[in-house]
Structure 1
Amino acid sequence: MTEQYDPQAGFDWRSEFPVNDECSYLNHAAVAPWPESARKAINDFATENVALGATHYPQWEKAEDKLRRNLETLIDAPRGSVALVKNTSEALSFVAYGLNWQPGDVVVISDQEFPSNRIVWESLADKGVKVVEVALPYDDPESELLMAIEQKPRLVSISAVQYASGLRLDIDRIGAACRAAGVLFCIDAIQAVGAQPFSVQQNQCDFAMADGHKWMLGPEGLGFFYVRPEVMDLLRIQEYGWHMVADAGNYNTREWQLAPDAKRFECGSPNMLAGYALNASLELILKVGLPQIEYAIAERIQYLKDGLMEMEAVFLNPLIDERPSGILTFHFWNIDSARLHKTLMQTGVICANRGGGIRFSPHFHTTQEALDDALEALESLLPMLQPR
């Protein structure tokens, strides 16, 4: 594997990630380490706050708006269509409890979804909403979803990349089918945005959401909620406060209206500390470039896969070559994956136990040394964990 560095970017991003000198960090699909620029942004904001409090509050508002603009750029969204939210689950709840459901309405999801994209829809049972789970067959992962869309459900909610297997769906194909059938389309984009190009205009989704603490390299507690402007008025507002009105700075007015854009989903004061950090990380990602990041991640996944194949690993996602994502999940016959995961963590290989296997998820900055350390650790541990 060759280290990817684009001299046209004008900077060497490798110094941004000291984590690669400390451990073999292969867990970006869970919680990512921050880059140095995010740490510096938080330090600078904290230093200013300690010395001056909110003296420069107008600058905070500009930083907040800049974060929204960078998020819109990241997902190719029109201006004013992105709200800042606490997490993916909150945004999914805005959709689930914003739509005017009728008894008999159907929500279609896959049988591989993370709990957040299942529980929220199941919670609508008392409104007469039915949740239909469809399989994702590996010979044609979208086939059963497309057949379900032909039945005209109210909404399809799907993860762009499945959290356990790493299966990457053709969301453009799903989105086109939903738009043609008049079906609302919601994407849990947390395992995609920041790891690969993602365009809400190209995939024709109505709603998309993601936390910032995975592939976007930000802190926990801050993410985005995209709403297609044409369907924004379909969602009833569930939270109210000073920040989500059209004239948010006019505290004396007795008349108010919802903000005309996605800020209507932001009821109160934003998480400025996390906002400064996430914005610094996004600017780094945009500077490197999503096509370059996607390529670098695929290169690292292939390197790991090649090494694991020599150890006779079994992969959860047989389409990893055709549809590479940032997730590579595997197991070994006759070896307890939970025990293997615990032992890997103890040796400094930071990964996850998902889907009955070990999940590796490197980012674009992950060094070859970190990958080699993980493979060498696995090779040395396997004989010790074999049943006697």
Structure 2
Amino acid sequence: MSQMAPTHRLSNESYWNGKAYLNTAAEGLPLQSCVDAVQQYLMAKSHGEPGREEFWKAYERAQQGAARLFSVAADQIALISSTTEALNTIAHSIDWRPGDEVVFTSSEFPSNIFPWVALQSRGVKLRIAHPGPDGISVDDLLSQINDRTRLVTVSQVSYATGEHLNPEPLWRRVQETSALLCVDATQAAGRVPVDGRMADFTVASAFKWMNSIHGAAIMSVSRRALEADLLGPAGWLSAESCFADDRLETFHPRADGQRFQAGMPNFDSICSLAAALDFHTPEAVQERAAHLAPLVSQLRASLVAMGLTPLVPKSPARQAGIVPFAYESSAEMKRQLAERGIFVQGDDRRIRAALHWYNTQEDVEQYLEALRDLLDSSKAPATRLENSSV
């Protein structure tokens, strides 16, 4: 693993000496600055109510850092607990009518599937785009949008295939309609540039590529979504004033992004997020993405040379940090790799490696050498997934 300056090093960095951690897409390794920020939170918490001043300072810092990362204004940002919370908040904020339609892809993480599947009981129809040999077709997604579409929701980077999707054509299309666009950037934010100006909602959890801890996620909201009739959750923080004179008769929602944030923030996680966003600036993300791009392409090409079936598209423009391949005995392969100090994801009949700023050429070579040895010893076939959603 690469070494960083003391102010931006990994927590417990020495633990990873000689090992290859290639599983950031499941769980990012925390920065030491994030661990320090949680300790500072606990100290402020021990001061009781006066400690809240420090909490809200960290909140504002995280909000501003999130706004920079997503290229939006700070008042468009809400800091919620998770991507799943954000997607469910969006689902419950829209006044659905029977016959309304939601467009998404079959390669979404379940958090971006279940809220829409559940809406079918209310008469909402689903339009689902499936990947072809070259991944998701943007033209296919665009063709699904019609005058009944209320929401299009896609991942910028697929957790399953690693495909990097440019949301700009979808954004241009929905702007001609009343449909809203949601981009799940959980597998993108902190790894590749994310532009919150290209969607009505852009959401991302912080515990993966942003190297923070659980309990905080970023949600940006477009101006047109804020001007639409979307109620959001009803709570003291989402209210224009929680002590309004008419609060027993009427709920007045906020006019900014915090309309979608009901109550007390997870300040411990937000303190960590603020520290993480000091490290993951837009400029740093862009630089690291460019630096790692050849390594990602090299890893994919090496898998092909070994007779494996990568799920991420060949085009570098369609790649980010995730490089998975189909493999029937993936759970066993994951276990065997872990025994050799190599950590990847191995669920759903695929092996998924994820390359982040702390990964090196040596990590990739260690992984590939272990794969060759294990494949030679097992002679197990590495086949394309049959009848799969991806």
Give TM class, smaller chain. Answer: 0.7 to 0.9
2: CA distance between counterparts of 1:353 and 1:221?
A: 24
How does 1:184-333 map onto structure 2 within 5 Å? 184-201=180-197, 203=198, 205-234=199-228, 236-237=230-231, 239-247=233-241, 255=247, 257-286=252-281, 289-331=284-326
| Cα pair distance change 1:305/1:281, threshold 3 Å | same
Q: Match for residue 372 of structure 2?
A: 379
Could you tell me which of 352, 361, 364 is aligned with 1:368? Answer: 361
Map of 1:333-348 to 2, 5 A cutoff? 336-348=329-341
Instruction: Say if 2:24 and 2:208, in contact at 8 Å, map to a contact too.
Output: yes
Within a 5 Å distance, the mapping from 1:131-170 to structure 2 comes to: 131-139=126-134, 141-150=137-146, 152-170=148-166
Choose which of 172, 183, 206 in structure 2 pairs with 1:176: 172
TM-score scaled by length of structure 2: 0.87
Tell whether the 8 Å contact from 1:3 to 1:367 is kept in structure 2 after alignment.
yes
Instruction: Supply the distance in 2 between the matched residues of 1:369 and 1:42 (Cα, whole angstroms).
Output: 32
Residue 58 (str. 1) matches residue 53 (str. 2): yes
| Residue equivalent to 2:74 | 79
| Conserved 8 A contact 2:157-2:187 | yes
| Stretch of structure 1 that moved more, 298-307 or 162-171 | 298-307
Name 1:34's counterpart in structure 2. Answer: 30
Matching residue of 2:384: none
Distance of 1:15 and 1:82 partners within structure 2: 27
- Deviation, 1:258, is 2.4
What residue identity is the alignment partner of 1:243?
A: L
AA matched with 2:138: E
Taking a change above 3 Å as real, the CA distance of residues 37 and 13 of structure 1, as seen in their structure-2 partners, is closer
CA distance in 2, matches of 1:22, 1:3: 11
**CA distance in 2: counterparts of 1:319 and 1:113, whole angstroms:** 20
Q: Which moved more, 1:84-93 or 1:282-291?
A: 282-291
| Mapped partners of 1:155, 1:315: distance in 2 | 30
Residue in structure 2 matched with residue 67 of structure 1 by the alignment: 62
**Matched residue SS, 2:325:** strand
- Percent identical among aligned pairs is 27
SS where residue 244 of structure 1 aligns? Answer: coil
Cα distance in 2 between the residues matched to 1:287 and 1:168? 18
Q: Which ranges of structure 2 fall in alignment gaps of 5 or more residues? A: 382-390
- CA separation in 1, counterparts of 2:125 and 2:266? 35
Q: CA deviation at 1:65?
A: 1.4
Q: Could you tell me how far 1:292 is from its partner in structure 2?
A: 0.7
Give the Cα–Cα distance (whole angstroms) in 2 for the partners of residues 314 and 252 of structure 1. 60
Q: How much does 1:49 deviate? A: 3.2
Task: Name the SS for the 1:225 alignment partner.
Answer: strand
Residue of structure 2 equivalent to 1:120 = 115
Q: Which of residues 102, 125, 148 is equivalent to 1:130?
A: 125
In 2, the alpha carbon distance for the partners of 1:195 and 1:283 equals 14
- Deviation for aligned residue 1:346: 2.7
Q: 1:93 aligned to 2:91?
A: no
| TM-score, with structure 1 as normaliser | 0.88
> Does the 8 Å CA contact 2:21/2:359 hold for their aligned counterparts?
yes
Counterpart of 2:367, as a letter, is A
Alpha-carbon distance, 1:22 to partner:
6.0
**What is the CA distance between 1:151 and its match in structure 2?**
5.6
C-alpha contact (below 8 Å) 1:88/1:211 kept by paired residues:
yes
